[in-house]
Amino acid sequence: MNTLFDKIWDAHVVTTVEDGPTQLYIDRLYCHEVTSPQAFAGLRERGIKVLRPEKVFCMPDHNTPTHDQDKPIEDPISKTQVDTLTKNAKDFGLTHFGMMHPKNGIIHVVGPERALTLPGMTIVCGDSHTSTHGAMGAIAFGIGTSEVEMVLASQCILQSRPKTMRITVDGELGKGVTAKDIALYMMSKMTTSGATGYFVEYAGSAIRNLTMEGRLTLCNLSIEMGARGGMVAPDEVTFEYIKGRENAPKGEAWDQAIEYWKTLKSDDDAVFDKEVRFDATDIEPMITYGTNPGMGMGITQNIPTTEGMGEAAQVSFNKSMEYMGFQPGESLLGKKIDYVFLGACTNGRIEDFRAFASLVKGRKKADNVIAWLVPGSWMVDAQIRKEGIDKILTEAGFAIRQPGCSACLAMNDDKIPAGKYSVSTSNRNFEGRQGPGARTLLASPLVAAAAAVTGVITDPRELI
């Protein structure tokens, strides 16, 4: 009768407060520079050590520049944030992958690729996109600063048990349709609050046929539907991805791990609090037109009109259109763009670079486009060079930047100027998310690549 979520959650319950929260044991805490300083300050004030330092991994990503990382950071706020994390990790005896460290990168890219994230784990980080790690068959969610302090001190957290939802996507994805498009499609149908209060398990043939990296992208965006987290049951795709990676179990321990991981699936008679179904054949390459990730549409469709909308919804919609400089009912195909961003914890993995390169190969970057291609980690960067993807990109007029969160959020040097249009593979398109006044259109690496070589919003299927 148990869901995958139930099995992992129940295995980590320490105590349950009657009519209150659960004390949950945490297997892995990831710390970056933005939400951890106050947590470490709290430990110092109370004279407490980190209980289980071997379970904590620190790395800067939000504030790191994506060029000249071997030089001191110029921005004083970013420099302070990054330096503070270095000091905190040293003072408390924690593993720290600093800038230029070969294991550095975006924490949600590094965790899976180094097999620090494994099936059956509970994982937290002071960052909402911690949901990414659920793709490995783990319970992973973002927490606040006071909760980071709680985990550092006790390796446990107090949490209310969320409700469960299963989203099933059956059928075969069409040409040029990626995991990013599945996520944007779901949000366009369910809205950004459609999964509020739920932990989502993704199931169905279309999900099983996704690669590990596609699943990571999908789970990354769970949070944008309001979900507490997202997860995919581990299977042969998961095991094959983990096998041989740096922190993967080896030898006999591997066999034992596989045996356990194979039990991590929802029982046939498992009951979810909510079930939602979609057909993969209904999904085409997607693009957003508004100021939240749920305002998305198929790339060949037109922006909706306000017909049938309530008064409050109309006001919000019109405000969004004004900010974006779009008209209700218009098509976005052929719209001129200014920036393209490939990267973030959503689409900064090797497969995303392969996809982007496959479309720009033999073509040239459009003159009107400034493109920022940012690997999610130094491991991704090394793989790009090993596969010769860097040569394809250079020949097409693109340059590869150094790893970091980059233009996903306006916390480092990579900001989109006011009024400019950015086709971005990141996860959020709120007003000012990529820089004050920046206009963000969320899309897959293929849609981003098509825009980068044509200079306008283009259906990538025309170029594949």
Based on the number of CB atoms within 10 Å of its own CB, is 311 exposed (0-12), middle (13-18) or buried (19 or more)?
Answer: exposed
- Three-class SS string for 80-142? HHHHHHHHHHHHCCCEECCCCCCCCECHHHHHHHCCCCCCCCEEEECCHHHHHHHHHCCEEEE
What is the C-alpha to C-alpha distance for residues 75 and 80, in angstroms, rounded to an integer? 9
Tell me what pLDDT residue 359 has: 98
Q: What is 4-275's CATH number, 1.10.10.60, 3.30.70.20, 3.30.499.10, 3.40.50.2300? A: 3.30.499.10
Read off the pLDDT of residues 106-145 as tens digits, 9 standing for 90 and up: 999 999 999 999 999 999 999 999 999 999 999 999 999 9
Tell me what pLDDT residue 453 has: 98
Read off the pLDDT of residues 15-60 as tens digits, 9 standing for 90 and up: 998 999 999 999 999 999 999 999 999 999 999 999 999 999 999 9
What's the fold here for domain 286-462? Aconitase; domain 3 (3.30.499)
Tell me what pLDDT residue 324 has: 98
What mean pLDDT do residues 354-383 have? Answer: 98
Tell me what pLDDT residue 227 has: 98
Domain range summary for the chain, segments of one domain joined by +: 4-275, 286-462
Instruction: Please give the mean pLDDT across all residues of the chain.
Output: 97
Read off the pLDDT of residues 60-99 as tens digits, 9 standing for 90 and up: 999 999 999 999 999 999 999 999 999 999 999 999 999 9
Q: Quick check: do 4-275 and 286-462 share a fold?
A: yes
Read off the pLDDT of residues 262-291 as tens digits, 9 standing for 90 and up: 999 999 999 999 999 999 999 999 999 999
pTM: predicted TM-score of the whole model, two decimal places: 0.98
Record the tokens describing residue 237, joined without a space: 């795709």
Record the tokens describing residue 347, joined without a space: 């689409």
Tell me what pLDDT residue 72 has: 96
3-state class (DSSP) for residue 28: strand
Tell me if 125 is assigned to a ligand binding site. Answer: no
At 251, the pLDDT band (50, 70, 90 cuts) reads very high
Tell me if 58 is assigned to a ligand binding site. Answer: no
What is the C-alpha to C-alpha distance for residues 135 and 241, in angstroms, rounded to an integer? 12
Tell me what pLDDT residue 279 has: 98
Tell me what pLDDT residue 11 has: 98
Tell me what pLDDT residue 133 has: 98
At 201, the pLDDT band (50, 70, 90 cuts) reads very high
What mean pLDDT do residues 300-321 have? Answer: 96
Q: Partners of 424 in the beta sheet?
A: 341, 442
At 103, the pLDDT band (50, 70, 90 cuts) reads very high
Tell me if 345 is assigned to a ligand binding site. Answer: yes
For a pLDDT cut of 70, what percent of the chain falls above it?
Answer: 100
